[in-house]
Amino acid sequence: MLLKNKIALITGASSGIGKATAKLFVKEGAKVVLSDLNDEEGNKLIEELNKDQKTAVFLKADVAKEKDHKKLVDLALSEFKKLDIAVNNAGIGGPQAKTGDYLSEDWNHVINVNLNGVFYGMKHQIKAMKQNGSGCIINISSILGKVGTQNSPAYVTAKHGMNGLTKAAALEHAEDNIRINSVGPGYILTPLLENNLDQQTLEMLKELHALKRLGKSEEVSELIAWLASDKASFVTGSYYPIDGGYLSQ
């Protein structure tokens, strides 16, 4: 078991990459604190994970609010006595529009969730991990944290910013034995894509990848689990794309 006796916090855990990661973490021996705005799906997941023994708790949380991150960390400490791993996965795509036409309120919302939310999370997660004398944080970025695309200026900005924040924090907290990395998925077949894009658009997205398909949440979760484990003990401050060759073209 890669994560035996580890305590992990995962945001955006009700679906997609977050859900797949929660399932894999428990399979690998971790206990998990999960959060999402979708508490109905979150509680269903908790029931599934706790079928044999208590391995998971859920708290409805808005990652754009710093107080909710403190509640999540406090829950980990009260339920499981420590926090070893955090996966800052929650994020939104935001509306599609050119920079010159992008509404300020939409910009602020995307930045608050996708960038400020990661900062707030890390701020409180690091404090808890310092009490242990070690820890590991994985921030879920995107291929669009390395390159641009049209009509998503806020999303691209937030993901680029997240990668910079990850590197800065990794340098600052290496002395605390806390490893911090980011993962950059390509287009992954999650409910976010399936519910918002038609089949023609999905087929077009497949062609952007060298492997000519979309990724699976379970594939991304395998990379996250490795980074969270002691097998990645010499890895910090890095960005790991998992993109079917998107960035190589």
- Position 98: which residue type? K
CB 41 within 8 A of CB 14: yes
Rounded CA-CA distance 31/213 in Å is 33
Rounded CA-CA distance 210/241 in Å is 13
The sign of the dihedral angle between the CA atoms of 195, 196, 198, 202 is: negative
CB atoms within 10 A of CB 72: 26
Rounded CA-CA distance 24/14 in Å is 14
Q: Is 155 a catalytic residue?
A: yes
Which DSSP symbol is given to 52?
S
Residues near 241 by beta carbon (within 8 Å), at least 6 away in sequence? 143, 146, 183, 184, 185, 186, 247
User: Active-site residue among 102, 120, 155, 187?
Assistant: 155
Rounded CA-CA distance 69/122 in Å is 9
Catalytic residues: 155
